[in-house]
């Protein structure tokens, strides 16, 4: 029989802050004025990498137009090959700041190295810790010292217990604003880039009070699969999704194969709103700033 990690137990010398026993109420993480982990399903979207001003502004407008809530885009990119495009670095961060100013969308971007932390944290609304860095304990410790939202992606070969222990590093530093992201795991199946572990959603929701979101773009590697798997994630109880969107996926410098066009993304958000309603959640179309303005 499969071994289920025991919910509601504190293990080891310290109390495990990520587990439900430590905090029975759901943690709600506030990002740019919007909430992640409440009733609303949150859509994070944008290009894999920030490539140019025109590209990131077009992507941000597309995300905003289709009802996304948070912009994503990598300025510091972890790449398998050092010869691939590794990001615009600080210039990329400045372009994200510009995109936020134009659209009102808060943004999340990856921090790969404690040496870049100040540059990233001083500009971003949320820090992303990538799959390859889920067990970079120095980075987790440093991020734990901050008081800002952290999107922690599951290591591609990490068990859920290892994932929760990684979150524990951030929580132990006093930073309670952690969102977990299932992004696909390595299996024997070669037809998809990774295998999106939908089991992780109800299991994590049972074990932890932290919000859980899903990245079907990396989880599948195929743009045509993203919408269906995003719907499946919301149906399974995810608090949000993170989707790669590019104004011209064929020309993307990274992850074009799995990136949606603005048109395809708009269709996906509309479908997600219907799925969210069917499972007692709500997907509000529009960024917090836009929704606030509309309700005034």
The answer to whether 249 contacts ligand PEP (rule: CB under 6 A) is no
Integer Cα distance of 44 and 106 in angstroms: 10
Q: How far is the CB of 39 from Mn ion (least distance, A)?
A: 29
The answer to whether 183 contacts ligand PEP (rule: CB under 6 A) is yes
- Exposed, middle or buried, 240 (CB in 10 Å: 0-12/13-18/19+)? buried
Q: How far is the CB of 7 from ligand PEP (least distance, A)?
A: 26
Among 27, 55, 64, 131, binds ligand PEP (CB under 6 A): 131
Q: Per-residue x/- marks for ligand PEP, 135-164, CB under 6 A? A: ------------------x-----------
- Stretch touching ligand PEP by CB under 6 A, among 112-120, 127-135, 257-265, 287-295: 127-135
Could you give the dihedral angle defined by the CA atoms of residues 96, 98, 101 and 104, in that order, rounded to the nearest 10 degrees? -30
Residues sharing a CB contact under 8 Å with residue 268, sequence separation 6 or more, in sequence order: 66, 226, 227, 230, 243, 260
Q: How far is the CB of 177 from ligand PEP (least distance, A)?
A: 19
CB atoms within 10 A of CB 120: 22
Among 92, 130, 221, 249, binds ligand PEP (CB under 6 A): 130
- Strand-pairing partners, residue 40, are 282
Cα–Cα distances in angstroms (integers) from residue 155 to residues 130, 158, 164, in the given order: 8, 5, 11
- The residues that touch Mn ion, with contacts defined as CB under 5 A, are 48, 255
Helices 200-207 and 160-172: crossing angle, nearest 10°? 40
Q: Interaction with ligand PEP in 91-120: which residues (CB under 6 A)?
A: none
Question: Can you give the binding site for ligand PEP, defined by CB under 6 A?
Answer: 48, 74, 78, 130-132, 153, 183, 218
């Amino acid at each position: 029989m499969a071994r289920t990690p025991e919910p509601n137990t504190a293990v080891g010398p310290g109390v495990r802050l990520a587990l439900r026993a430590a905090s029975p109420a759901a943690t709600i993480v506030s990002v740019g004025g919007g909430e992640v982990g409440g009733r609303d399903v949150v859509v994070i979207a944008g290009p894999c990498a920030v490539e140019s001003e025109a590209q990131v502004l077009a992507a941000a407008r597309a995300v905003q137009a289709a009802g996304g809530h948070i912009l994503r885009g990598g300025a510091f990119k972890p790449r398998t090959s050092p010869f691939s495009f590794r990001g615009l670095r600080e210039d990329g961060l400045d372009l994200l700041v510009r995109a936020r100013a134009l659209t009102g969308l808060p943004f999340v971007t990856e921090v790969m190295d404690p040496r870049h932390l100040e540059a990233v944290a001083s500009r971003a609304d949320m820090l992303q810790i990538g799959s390859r860095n889920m067990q970079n304990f120095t980075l987790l410790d440093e991020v734990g010292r901050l008081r800002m939202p952290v999107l922690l992606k599951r290591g591609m070969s990490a068990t859920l217990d290892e994932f929760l222990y990684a979150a524990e590093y951030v929580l132990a530093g006093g930073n309670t604003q952690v969102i977990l992201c299932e992004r696909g795991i390595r299996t024997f199946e070669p037809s998809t880039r990774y295998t999106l572990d939908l089991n992780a959603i109800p299991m994590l929701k049972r074990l932890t009070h932290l919000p859980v979101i899903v990245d079907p773009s990396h989880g599948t590697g195929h743009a045509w699969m993203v919408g269906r798997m995003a719907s499946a994630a919301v149906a399974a109880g995810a608090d949000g999704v993170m989707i790669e969107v590019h104004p011209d996926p064929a020309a993307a410098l990274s992850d074009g194969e799995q990136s949606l066009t603005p048109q395809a993304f708009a269709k996906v958000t509309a479908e997600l709103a219907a799925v969210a309603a069917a499972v007692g959640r709500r997907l509000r179309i529009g960024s917090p700033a836009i929704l606030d303005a509309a309700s005034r």
